Chains A and B, each alone.
Chain A
């Protein structure tokens, strides 16, 4: 019987492990943290009311995630987005009827035209084979914007858009990565939309339940508190060494973000790196502002806001579906996340609450303010996903999902479909399991 070790109990690792176990592989999952779920994590904002500190949203095109949810008996709930929005884009905070920001529509249309043109050019299966890839991989999105966007409103909007879409500072990603990401997620419009798009629904009760139930199905095959340090490959087998023990295996699935996988020690070393000097962690911090109820709705507000300056670059109503507390989720992304991450917990809370008071003066102070810092988390090293900088796609893209002898790679960053999303993680888990099974 084949023995496999899966490193990482996020969506990718647990999907792979479940598939392998179903095919009769003797599988052990080694997870560094004392919890499963990785970049999905639930926080209890009130008794039995959960908010997503990590991934939250999904859309109809996330078919593997939907399938998994129905297998596990987990429901979804629509993201509510009724009422007016608040915008703080330079002047005083303003209220607008819909989600459209008070910026020149023609300037935004011009930005979207340019992004759509780039997106359409991408080779979705092998982005490094995109015609003109060298040039797109050389320039950062910030350089591209400086060159292409002449209207101040487009320049204001672009970093906010990229922060929201991919938790990236435009200076941190290549044009190729930006365009690939937009393409991979279903295009500009799908990624941007709530209704009919990638933010249409949330997992009722929290996305963390997916991994918890997968882990429950795997039982004692999942071992938490086992940070892997070294992976040995020999002619006869592999050994995965944690801080506590050594696990022999015929094959290993590494289901980690690429920067963390690079930090392990490989004996012998891997033939080619899977990340480089310009590969950086995505930067997002989530702030949950908890209220006795979704009070903003009483003022005809949706809870949606966009601000040009931080910390809360956008806010969204993430209140649990049934009656209960009101939860406004604030997103601190891109360069703003680095600034915010450097503050003390007290300073963060004060800054977040002050910003909320400026945006929503009609609301009382929140009863709680919970900050989840993924930037400094040693076992996530940023989120939503790794950011590929100049040169990365051409140098490392082909290696991301390529097996090496007994080693197989999973994780959302190894999926060219829905890269960076839960859906990409699940698809990567299926793919890695299939690759491994094909060698048995």
Chain B
């Protein structure tokens, strides 16, 4: 793995951890087995779009539901390759809901 790839995997896994509020989650762990659902999956995808400028689809997510696999998809699609159509309004990092999510 190149330095870039390792960093990308780490960054995507960090997003997964934050959204799931699962600080221990590893890059190979399945998002849904960690308690994720489709609503939280969209929040991972919006964070990836913000950080990498890559818009993955829900099907992309279903085919690659781990930090490592999502990072590969991000690399395959290439940061900045797709137009950033969605997130025109910049937004501060949203804190994940506390007790509500993942309990």
Q: Closest residue to A183 on the B side, CB-wise?
A: B100
B55 in contact with A116 (CB, 8 Å): no
B38 in contact with A98 (CB, 8 Å): yes
CA distance A112 to B100 in the complex (A): 13
A119 in contact with B94 (CB, 8 Å): no
CA distance A186 to B97 in the complex (A): 10
> Which DSSP category, helix, strand, loop or mixed, fits chain B's interface?
loop
A residues near B55, Cβ cutoff 8 Å: 104, 106
A114 in contact with B94 (CB, 8 Å): yes
Q: Closest residue to B88 on the A side, CB-wise?
A: A150
Taking CB atoms and an 8 Å cut-off, the chain A residues in 94-117 that contact chain B are 98-100, 104-110, 112-114, 116-117
Range, interface on chain B: 20 to 34
A residues near B42, Cβ cutoff 8 Å: 105-106, 108-109, 112
CA distance A186 to B55 in the complex (A): 29
Q: Min CB distance, A61 to chain B, in Å?
A: 8
A188 in contact with B97 (CB, 8 Å): yes
> Which DSSP category, helix, strand, loop or mixed, fits chain A's interface?
helix
Q: Min CB distance, A255 to chain B, in Å?
A: 28
Q: Indicate whether B12 reaches chain A with its CB closer than 8 angstroms.
A: no
> Which listed residue, B37, B41, B95, B97, touches A105 by the CB 8 Å rule?
B41
A105 in contact with B40 (CB, 8 Å): no
Range, interface on chain A: 20 to 34
A120 in contact with B98 (CB, 8 Å): yes
Given A113-B43, A188-B39, decide whether A105 and B100 contact each other with a Cβ distance below 8 A: no
A113 in contact with B86 (CB, 8 Å): no
B49 in contact with A106 (CB, 8 Å): yes
Q: Indicate whether A187 reaches chain B with its CB closer than 8 angstroms.
A: yes
CA distance A196 to B32 in the complex (A): 13
Taking CB atoms and an 8 Å cut-off, the chain B residues in 50-103 that contact chain A are 55-58, 61, 85-89, 91, 94-101
> Which listed residue, B46, B85, B100, touches A119 by the CB 8 Å rule?
B100
Q: Indicate whether A193 reaches chain B with its CB closer than 8 angstroms.
A: yes
B56 in contact with A106 (CB, 8 Å): yes
B100 in contact with A188 (CB, 8 Å): yes
B residues near A190, Cβ cutoff 8 Å: 100
Q: Min CB distance, A180 to chain B, in Å?
A: 13
Q: Min CB distance, A439 to chain B, in Å?
A: 33
A116 in contact with B85 (CB, 8 Å): no
Subset of 27 A-B contacts with CB under 8 Å: A105-B56, A105-B57, A105-B58, A105-B61, A106-B42, A106-B45, A106-B46, A106-B48, A106-B55, A109-B41, A109-B46, A109-B47, A112-B39, A112-B42, A112-B46, A113-B43, A113-B94, A114-B94, A116-B95, A117-B94, A120-B97, A150-B87, A151-B86, A189-B37, A189-B97, A189-B101, A192-B39
